[in-house]
A and B are shown apart, each in its own frame.
Chain A
Amino acid sequence: LAHGAGGKASAALIDAVFLEAFRNEALEQLGDGALLPLPSGDQLAFATDSYVVRPHRFPGGSIGSLAVHGTVNDLAMCGARPSWLSAAFVIEEGFPVAELAALAADMAAAAAAAGVTVVTGDTKVVDTGAADGVFITTAGVGLVPAGRRLAADRVRPGDVVLVSGTLGDHGVAVLLARGDLDLEADVTSDTAPLAGLVEVLLAAAPGTRWLRDPTRGGVGTVCNELAAQAGVAVVLQESALPVRRPVGGACDLLGIDPLYVANEGKFVAVVPAEEAGAALTALRAHPLGADAAVIGRIAGEPERIVLLETSFGGSRIVDMLVGDPLPRIC
């Protein structure tokens, strides 16, 4: 259970089991995808992800569209232009064919919108109870143009941290879609393909250092990963974090912090300070970046720490959570 929340526990699991077993140079980057050099000087980006979301449908998307967007976005975060996808389905015995067809249609539509083609796949049917309806695994490849490198080691104190839109929409939409909470809130998942928006960003801010999509674990977790990998401090401004009112209200009620809630159509970017203005203007001109905002800056100290500056001048530590957050107030 604790390994599911996308924090320190899952990082530890990855380190202990998989990195250990498969150790190689490409994997050790621990990016969202692997970057593999091609003779042309371009790089091949290769990413994979499994999708197990419940419920299968939620306002704004489904497990089908998510399975396309998630992998396409992982490629985009490496600076790649995604081209091809594979899709593998683990289907629980008795899962309605009509529903499967609907999910496949979602995938097709999402792929078309993202400019990728599903070129191979696989299907397995397992006994009732051995899967939860349907699990989808996608893998994708794309090309990173020569000379483009987005990596934590390029991040410098003084750089600016941007987010491409509001926080927490996906996670809250899915939580509410489970239907067991007596809570009316107009919240739609933000699931969307980001490769186009990344191109917009890179055109406006060619010096962009680093990109990450804050999916599971949210902005808080990816900022912690950045702080650790780059050996810097990420200093966020509480008042600058864009959160839609119903999302904020739901988070408040649930006692969760939008900083740790999943997004499926947002990225966090670090850009040089002098390009931040241009980046923000360009992002905001794009429909997927309308709510883009500068949310903080990179500092040299305290190393490997994410801070949240509050309105009364306090600075709270945004932790990498070990598992599902437990109350800490005594």
Chain B
Amino acid sequence: MTVERRRIRVRGTVQGVGFRPFLYRQAVDLGLTGWVGNEGGDVVLEVEGDRSALDALLRSLRERQPPLAAVESVDVATVAPAGSAGFRIAASTAGSDPDLRVSADVAPCDACLAELADPDDRRFRYPFINCTNCGPRYTIVRAVPYDRPATTMAGFRMCPACQKEYDDPADRRFHAQPNACPDCGPRLAWTGPGEEVTGSAALTAAVARLTHGGTIALKSVGGYHLACDATDAGAVAHLRNRKGRPDKPFAIMVRDLAAAEALCDLAPAARTALTSPRRPVVLIPRRPDALGAVAAEIAPGLHELGVMLPPSPLHALLGADLDRPLVMTSGNLSDEPVVGDDDEARELLGPLVDGVLSHDRPIHVRTDDSVVRAAPGGRLQVVRRARGWVPQPVRLPVPADRPVLAVGAQLKNTVALARGGSVILSQHLGDLQHWPTAAAFQQAVEHLTRLARVEPAAVAHDLHPDYRSTAWARESGLSLVGVQHHHAHVASCLVEHGRTGPVLGIAFDGLGLGPDGSLWGGEFLLADLTGFDRVASLARAVLPGGDAAVREPWRTALSWVHRGLGEETAAELGPALDPRWAAVLSLVRSGRQPETSSVGRLFDAVAALLGVRARISYEGQAAVELEALARTGDATTAYPMGMAGDLLDPAPALRAVLAARAAGVPVADIAAGFHVGLATSAGQLAIRLADAHGVDTVALTGGVFQNVLLTDLLARHLRRAGLEVLLHKSLPCNDGGISAGQAAVAAAVLQG
């Protein structure tokens, strides 16, 4: 037997995920001595013993980690044996490592859920049950290292029973920082009209309100939710009225998979997403035979439902007690951050609801629910990256030698901090034009830099001068790296796949400023991380009224018809679109309006021409509804674009769409045919460009690719031609991913 001692450093998401107790149990089982501790963001251990036992420890370290851990590297050094006796867990040291390794928030694990439902357990129906494998993390962390005093649990003093679990390396709650029980932990509080109760009575009161068609605000993991009975059309319509949100779909929460199954067609990927510890809202196709199972007002005009299983023990209790789908929508105003502060909740949400179910565990970082789409074929795509993902780092294809802050776009804003080999994205923040979002942006910048303990040396930003993120960057005093919007989109897709390019990026989205001062959004970019060439794009049309044209898709329809089919057709069509058609047409002709090559706007135009939607009440509504319609249609006739040099010209498609409509072809079929035509034409162009420029990889990015139908059609077309297709997975293809792309570009540029 040879006694050796090794010093092991484990990097990755290893704090707050039960890593030290895991190693402790392994070491003790293998008869090893030494210690394990947190150092900076890493876990460091020294173990001494027989070589074969040491090897076994390393093996299990690599192969069987705690469920929430994400190990990035394990460094092993042999040191001189110290003759230690026993194995201990050392106290945390701040260390000097700049890495941020706080875990994301985790939905209740099965063991905790079992205890929650067990009348004999001391935490029976205790809404704040958690263990090292589950519970709040990012949302309660004030600073690193992740220890109880650095969380919003600092104010709760553990009772002897909890302390014993916390101190016992063999316990599931060993060093579970938010560990709590009914005797010592957070408590519920209900405030209704003339009613203030706490503890289990609060839950009872909330359940009673929901049962009787009421709407409540409830404090979730990262912020407040607004909830009502999703089967009660009156309650849902009432909530829409009070929130001033006429159409945008509401997410619903169901108690378990079986309840989800009753509403939606669950592909295996959807099941995995629903039950994942990240517990996002999952967009899933509805079951045609269960359309009546929730109120029609939940998701008007859409074929999918946003479904979530309970993200916290409190939600699990509500789900079990009510046993019906509940609307579970963010407690905020549209495009503003979710409300997390209790006073703000009473003030802002109180007037919207019949009562507030709160508790006394503060939320330090407001973090909205994440949203993923389960696409056919098992592909998952993150649409909104927040709770459950943040602050998990994403590996950079090119390391950031100097720390870079990336400030994102304007809508769906996120910020990102790149340092060393990875980048951390903030949670989804929202539309920076809203003051609360702008304030959250500032907090996110501060929080990320505090947790990572680095000062950014440069700031990457969009080229749009009126984005508030750009203005912030310019006033920051940091050295600036301007990144074109669609280059950032392509770069974010490269980051997902650990690539540096060159690649043919197809960036289809709403609007982003091009270096030529026009608004891009239908771009074919030959790009790597350091730069790009615009090798083709959609043809341009006037955007009459700028932002007003985005709110009123009929304007873009008129503009596209005018450009593609001529003055006369536009004048014929105008009166059917809107009474103000003549004035808008003159605006189109005036030569004083912005122009855009946006594919998102083309979707708007087609949606308006098909009578799907002339005016929108939430971003992307027309395009989303067109996709929903197309999924029900027959696509045997495609409506291809024209090709004029390196311009994709929608005119032939629009002409065919209008002719089909005049001939009485069902609009669903036309919508499907438009999708196929666009995918085919864009695919042909991309294949030609890839060949001409000698690349064999195509990246699909930009908000338009939230459209699963288009994405799948185009990807299939490209793959058939032997091209590799990069799709988004864990970074949103929409503007929520822009900050990651900016950070990657800046890292690459600054290295060059």
A residues contacting B by CB (< 8 A) are 180-183, 252-255, 302, 305, 307, 311-317, 319, 321-323, 325-330
Interchain CA distance A253-B555 in the complex, whole Å: 10
Please pick, from A253, A302, A317, the residue contacting B580 in the complex, using a CB distance under 8 A.
A253
On whether the beta carbons of B619 and A315 are closer than 8 Å, the reply is: no
Interchain CA distance A321-B583 in the complex, whole Å: 26
B555 closest partner in A (C-beta): A255
Interchain CA distance A113-B580 in the complex, whole Å: 39
With known contacts A326-B594, A327-B519, A329-B511, A319–B409 Cβ distance under 8 A: no
- Smallest CB–CB gap between A328 and chain B, Å? 5
Residues of chain B within 8 A (CB-CB) of A327 are 511, 519, 543, 546-547, 549-550, 594, 596
B510 closest partner in A (C-beta): A330
Residues of chain A within 8 A (CB-CB) of B545 are 253-255
On whether the beta carbons of A181 and B587 are closer than 8 Å, the reply is: yes
Interchain CA distance A288-B479 in the complex, whole Å: 50
On whether the beta carbons of B411 and A329 are closer than 8 Å, the reply is: yes
Interface residue B348 (Cβ < 8 Å from any Cβ of A): yes
Residues 520-552 of B contacting A (Cβ, < 8 Å): 543-551
Interchain CA distance A252-B580 in the complex, whole Å: 11
- Smallest CB–CB gap between A174 and chain B, Å? 13
- Smallest CB–CB gap between A319 and chain B, Å? 6
On whether the beta carbons of A255 and B546 are closer than 8 Å, the reply is: yes
A185 closest partner in B (C-beta): B583
On whether the beta carbons of B546 and A317 are closer than 8 Å, the reply is: no
Residues of chain B within 8 A (CB-CB) of A302 are 435, 439
On whether the beta carbons of A253 and B412 are closer than 8 Å, the reply is: no
Interface residue B86 (Cβ < 8 Å from any Cβ of A): no
With known contacts A255-B545, A315-B435, A328-B547, A322–B583 Cβ distance under 8 A: no
On whether the beta carbons of A253 and B584 are closer than 8 Å, the reply is: yes
For the A-B complex with A253-B584, A255-B549, A327-B549 known, give 11 more contacts whose Cβ atoms are closer than 8 Å.
A182-B583, A311-B244, A314-B336, A315-B434, A317-B433, A317-B434, A319-B471, A329-B510, A329-B511, A330-B409, A330-B512
Please pick, from A180, A255, A322, A330, the residue contacting B465 in the complex, using a CB distance under 8 A.
A322
Interface residue B333 (Cβ < 8 Å from any Cβ of A): yes
- Smallest CB–CB gap between B605 and chain A, Å? 15
- Smallest CB–CB gap between A230 and chain B, Å? 18
- Chain B positions 665 through 703: 1 when the CB is less than 8 Å from some CB of chain A, otherwise 0: 000000000000000000000000000000000000001
Interchain CA distance A187-B307 in the complex, whole Å: 51
Interface residue B125 (Cβ < 8 Å from any Cβ of A): no
Residues of chain A within 8 A (CB-CB) of B734 are 330
Interface residue B213 (Cβ < 8 Å from any Cβ of A): no
On whether the beta carbons of A181 and B548 are closer than 8 Å, the reply is: no
The interface centre, meaning the residue of B467, B512, B519, B547 with most chain A CB atoms within 10 A of its CB, is B547
Residues of chain B within 8 A (CB-CB) of A183 are 583, 586
Please pick, from B348, B582, B619, the residue contacting A329 in the complex, using a CB distance under 8 A.
B619
Please pick, from A313, A314, A330, the residue contacting B410 in the complex, using a CB distance under 8 A.
A330
12 contacts between A and B (CB under 8 A): A252-B548, A254-B548, A255-B546, A307-B435, A312-B243, A315-B436, A317-B433, A319-B471, A325-B466, A328-B466, A328-B511, A329-B510
- Smallest CB–CB gap between A3 and chain B, Å? 13
On whether the beta carbons of A329 and B547 are closer than 8 Å, the reply is: yes
Residues of chain B within 8 A (CB-CB) of A317 are 432-435, 438, 468
Interface residue B585 (Cβ < 8 Å from any Cβ of A): yes
Residues of chain A within 8 A (CB-CB) of B58 are none
Interface residue B513 (Cβ < 8 Å from any Cβ of A): yes
Residues of chain A within 8 A (CB-CB) of B466 are 319, 321-322, 325-326, 328
Interchain CA distance A305-B243 in the complex, whole Å: 26
Closest 9 CB pairs of A and B: A255-B545, A255-B548, A182-B586, A330-B510, A322-B465, A312-B244, A327-B546, A183-B583, A329-B550
Interface residue B464 (Cβ < 8 Å from any Cβ of A): yes
- Chain B positions 568 through 612: 1 when the CB is less than 8 Å from some CB of chain A, otherwise 0: 000000000000101111110110001010001000000000000
Residues of chain B within 8 A (CB-CB) of A316 are 433-435
On whether the beta carbons of B519 and A326 are closer than 8 Å, the reply is: yes
Residues of chain B within 8 A (CB-CB) of A325 are 466, 546
On whether the beta carbons of B333 and A328 are closer than 8 Å, the reply is: no
Interchain CA distance A305-B411 in the complex, whole Å: 19
Residues of chain A within 8 A (CB-CB) of B434 are 314-317
On whether the beta carbons of A253 and B582 are closer than 8 Å, the reply is: no
The interface centre, meaning the residue of B471, B546, B550, B589 with most chain A CB atoms within 10 A of its CB, is B546
Please pick, from B468, B551, B585, the residue contacting A182 in the complex, using a CB distance under 8 A.
B585
Interface residue B509 (Cβ < 8 Å from any Cβ of A): yes
B591 closest partner in A (C-beta): A180
Residues of chain A within 8 A (CB-CB) of B409 are 330
Interface residue B304 (Cβ < 8 Å from any Cβ of A): no
Interchain CA distance A223-B334 in the complex, whole Å: 26
Interface residue B735 (Cβ < 8 Å from any Cβ of A): yes
The interface centre, meaning the residue of A182, A255, A302, A312 with most chain B CB atoms within 10 A of its CB, is A255
Residues of chain A within 8 A (CB-CB) of B586 are 180-183
Interchain CA distance A319-B243 in the complex, whole Å: 25
- Smallest CB–CB gap between A181 and chain B, Å? 5
Interchain CA distance A311-B594 in the complex, whole Å: 30
Please pick, from B411, B432, B513, the residue contacting A326 in the complex, using a CB distance under 8 A.
B513
On whether the beta carbons of B411 and A330 are closer than 8 Å, the reply is: yes
On whether the beta carbons of A314 and B333 are closer than 8 Å, the reply is: yes
With known contacts A305-B435, A317-B438, A325-B466, A330–B619 Cβ distance under 8 A: yes
Residues 465-500 of B contacting A (Cβ, < 8 Å): 465-468, 471
Interchain CA distance A322-B594 in the complex, whole Å: 16
A311 closest partner in B (C-beta): B244
A250 closest partner in B (C-beta): B583
With known contacts A180-B586, A253-B583, A328–B464 Cβ distance under 8 A: yes
Interchain CA distance A84-B551 in the complex, whole Å: 49
Residues of chain A within 8 A (CB-CB) of B432 are 317
On whether the beta carbons of B333 and A180 are closer than 8 Å, the reply is: no
Residues of chain B within 8 A (CB-CB) of A319 are 433, 466, 468, 471
Please pick, from A307, A315, A328, the residue contacting B467 in the complex, using a CB distance under 8 A.
A328
Residues of chain B within 8 A (CB-CB) of A305 are 435
Residues of chain A within 8 A (CB-CB) of B467 are 328
On whether the beta carbons of B348 and A330 are closer than 8 Å, the reply is: no
Interchain CA distance A77-B593 in the complex, whole Å: 34
- Chain B positions 419 through 453: 1 when the CB is less than 8 Å from some CB of chain A, otherwise 0: 00000000000001111101100000000000000
Residues of chain A within 8 A (CB-CB) of B587 are 181, 253-254
Residues of chain A within 8 A (CB-CB) of B348 are 313
The interface centre, meaning the residue of A313, A317, A327 with most chain B CB atoms within 10 A of its CB, is A327
Residues of chain A within 8 A (CB-CB) of B584 are 253
Interchain CA distance A314-B589 in the complex, whole Å: 36
- Smallest CB–CB gap between B348 and chain A, Å? 6
B552 closest partner in A (C-beta): A255
On whether the beta carbons of A323 and B589 are closer than 8 Å, the reply is: no
On whether the beta carbons of B511 and A182 are closer than 8 Å, the reply is: no
- Smallest CB–CB gap between B428 and chain A, Å? 14
- Smallest CB–CB gap between B119 and chain A, Å? 43
- Smallest CB–CB gap between A324 and chain B, Å? 9
Residues of chain A within 8 A (CB-CB) of B464 are 326, 328
- Smallest CB–CB gap between A167 and chain B, Å? 17
Residues of chain B within 8 A (CB-CB) of A313 are 333, 348
Residues of chain A within 8 A (CB-CB) of B596 are 327
Interchain CA distance A235-B471 in the complex, whole Å: 20
Residues of chain B within 8 A (CB-CB) of A307 are 435
B409 closest partner in A (C-beta): A330
Residues of chain B within 8 A (CB-CB) of A328 are 410-411, 433, 464, 466-467, 511, 547
B620 closest partner in A (C-beta): A330
Interchain CA distance A327-B594 in the complex, whole Å: 8
On whether the beta carbons of A330 and B468 are closer than 8 Å, the reply is: no
- Smallest CB–CB gap between B311 and chain A, Å? 26
Interchain CA distance A253-B334 in the complex, whole Å: 24
Interchain CA distance A330-B600 in the complex, whole Å: 9
Interchain CA distance A41-B743 in the complex, whole Å: 59
Interchain CA distance A317-B550 in the complex, whole Å: 19
Interchain CA distance A316-B409 in the complex, whole Å: 17
- Smallest CB–CB gap between A168 and chain B, Å? 15
